[in-house]
Amino acid sequence: MLAPRIRGAFVPVTLALLAFASACSNGTEPKKPLCDAANPLSLNAGQVQTPISDACVYVSGGTAGGEFALVPFNADTVYGHIAPISFTSQGVSAVSTPLTSRTFASMPSFSLTPNEDAAATVGSSSGFELRLRESERRNLTPLIPAARSWYRNRYSSQSGTGLRPSFSTVAAAPTVGDIVTLNTKTGATLSDACQVPDNRTGRVVAVTNHAIVVADTENPTGGYTDAEYLTVGQQFDDVYAMDVAAFGDPSDIDTNGKVVMFFTRAVNEMTPKGSGSVVGGFFYGRDLFPKADSPVLGPGSGCATSNVSEMFYLAVPDPNALVNGNTTFTKNFISHLTLSTTAHELQHLINAARRLYVNTTATDFEVVWLNEGLSHIAEELLFYRQSNGLAPRSDVDSLDFKGNQTNVDSYNYNQQSNFGRFREFLLKPTVASPYAPDDSLWTRGATWDFLRYAADHRGANDGDTWFKLVNSTKTGLPNLQDVFGTSLMSIFRDWSVSVIADDQPGVANQWQQPSWNMPSMWVRLTESPTKPGTYPLATVTVGDNAPLSVSLKGGTSAYVRFTIPAGQVGSVQWTTQSNGIAMSLVRLK
């Protein structure tokens, strides 16, 4: 079975985005108020009405009766602003049945297990990355002016500039066998990012078109051979080409035109024994800064523990569980984890490097939630690249994996973490926001899915979407607004509708998720030999004897289901103190 693997700092802003576009499935403005018992709204299956400006809606059940969902979306741009909503109804019934796919045809069971089960049993630790990204914004942002000054003048003579250039630990033209010393320090709080090193000795074991592969000389026994490290470096060359095409070139502060991949037991040491998640690797922006203080800009303007190199750190095979007794780090697991990790971390590297040295009017690193969301997009791009012809906007569903082990493996090694995080969002949509200032699994899942939806509706292909987001000088929601337009909150609203409306018969493209048939995927993901699969979106219900109250944080939604009998008219009313609620209505069937 294809099992999902579970694998932020945000400055509140005020955006003039609350003037929502009004639409229904035929693209016309409603001709009459919806809170009118004499003129109930009549929707076909799959039709969407949005936004609903009244505080109630009268709906006809039609000739056969129907099931509906109201989708309130809290458009407040500040996640912590909570909007309570109370619902009551007349002539409607509550719904207790789970959501299922109405587009998935039954078929014989098929295997969606990877070639080696252990390769897909655990996922990456998200809390660790949150500390890294927050440390960059907190501790390294003040050093940006000095770093740019150093970068502009690093080839000039000291007497001409007053600056003392810093040099990378790794040679500009490294050769296999070179010995280098690299700082792996992160620290519990990361407040000592530039003061306290944790130096490890490494040996250059391979050099490829875009990689300098370095192995810690104290790595556990039974790990990669030099030939295997060379293969890993060559595989990274392909990942490098993919990420550069999507996000742009990284900087080259060490003048070697390559990225250092440091395979070190220091990364393994970050995973406690028996943990359900692992630290598979990391990029840390510290390494993009010069070591020495600038005489011009004063003490503390350099980062003494920087490696002055485009690089990231990666876990190593430990088949004998010599580090913390962890049995997870087999060669097979590390081989597959490394590729998706490098795709993820290279986005972080490119994002930080271009904000530092290319797009020099930027004043800060990207906020955590959007930075992580873009790295999850990189993982998805790798899924497509390693699949058998699958691509964005192809409405990938479970049929695409039947009898196709290439697609199964690519999912399990590159994409299932996105689905695992998306599942966490589906289970708590009233608290999970794409722009929450945290690094929770549900925020990551929501951000990834929103970015994929927004890109899918921006153009016929990904085009320059990812490049523009990574190369913006703004951060967070203002960055998204520059790329997706001033109707950004309407896009968020429509995305929230798509979460329940995707691939429902009759739903217009505006409320579809073009890249994935989510109901079909999830029916297969949650299926068991004794139980049919369901779509795990947490819904609530309202009925005549079942009033309902929900509270929505900024950027979150609820999914309020109800039915109306054939030939009847039902109504739902709601009250809220917030003026930022956008209400949509979907006829599900």
Q: Does residue 471 register a pLDDT over 60?
A: yes
The model's confidence at residue 111, banded by pLDDT at 50, 70 and 90, is very low
Q: What is the pLDDT of residues 390-424, one digit of tens each?
A: 999 999 998 899 889 999 999 999 998 999 999 99
Select the highest-mean-pLDDT range: 188-192, 474-478, 516-520, 524-528.
474-478
Kindly list the strands in the beta sheet with 548-552, ordered across the sheet, starting from the edge strand earlier in the chain. Answer: 56-60, 569-576, 83-90, 548-552
pLDDT mean over 475-499: 97
CA quadruple 298, 301, 307, 308: dihedral positive or negative?
Answer: negative
183 and 159 Cβ atoms separated by less than 8 Å? no
565 and 92 Cβ atoms separated by less than 8 Å? no
pLDDT at 296: 62
pLDDT mean over 312-338: 93
CA quadruple 383, 386, 392, 396: dihedral positive or negative?
Answer: negative
Q: Does residue 235 register a pLDDT over 50?
A: yes
Distance CA 434, CA 79 (A): 9
pLDDT mean over 310-323: 96
β-strands 56-60, 548-552 pairing: unpaired
- Among 444, 286, 472, smallest CA distance to 374 is for 444
Q: Which two tokens stand for residue 49?
A: 């009405």
Q: Count CB neighbours of 539 within 10 A.
A: 18
pLDDT at 128: 67
pLDDT at 6: 35
362 and 353 Cβ atoms separated by less than 8 Å? no
Q: What is the pLDDT of residues 127-178, one digit of tens each?
A: 666 677 777 777 888 899 999 989 988 766 444 444 444 346 676 788 999 9
List C-alpha distances in Å: 36 to 19, 29, 54, 56, 555.
24, 16, 10, 9, 29
- All residues at 6 or more sequence positions from 62 whose CB lies less than 8 Å from its CB, including other chains: 42, 566
pLDDT at 298: 64
- Among 128, 116, 124, smallest CA distance to 5 is for 124
Distance CA 280, CA 337 (A): 7
Q: Does residue 537 register a pLDDT over 60?
A: yes
- Among 256, 264, 255, 257, smallest CA distance to 205 is for 264
For the entire predicted model, the pTM comes to 0.89
Distance CA 572, CA 57 (A): 6
**Domain chopping of the chain, boundaries:** 23-109+488-587, 117-484
Distance CA 209, CA 81 (A): 49
The model's confidence at residue 494, banded by pLDDT at 50, 70 and 90, is very high
Rg of the chain taking only CA atoms, in angstroms: 26
Query: How much of the chain, in percent, has pLDDT values that exceed 70?
Result: 83
Distance CA 257, CA 84 (A): 54
Q: What is the pLDDT of residues 210-229, one digit of tens each?
A: 999 999 999 999 999 999 99
| Average pLDDT of the chain to the nearest whole number | 86
pLDDT at 425: 96
Least confident of 20-34, 44-58, 210-224, 448-462: 20-34
Distance CA 366, CA 289 (A): 17
The model's confidence at residue 65, banded by pLDDT at 50, 70 and 90, is very high
Distance CA 223, CA 334 (A): 10
pLDDT at 66: 95
Q: Which two tokens stand for residue 484?
A: 């997706």
Q: Which two tokens stand for residue 391?
A: 């691509």
70 and 535 Cβ atoms separated by less than 8 Å? no
Q: What is the pLDDT of residues 287-302, one digit of tens each?
A: 999 998 766 666 667 8
pLDDT at 289: 94
Q: What angle do CA 502, 376, 453 make, to 5 degrees?
A: 25
pLDDT at 191: 58
Q: What angle do CA 224, 226, 232 make, to 5 degrees?
A: 70
pLDDT at 299: 65
pLDDT at 297: 61
Q: Which two tokens stand for residue 159?
A: 């007497």
pLDDT at 37: 87
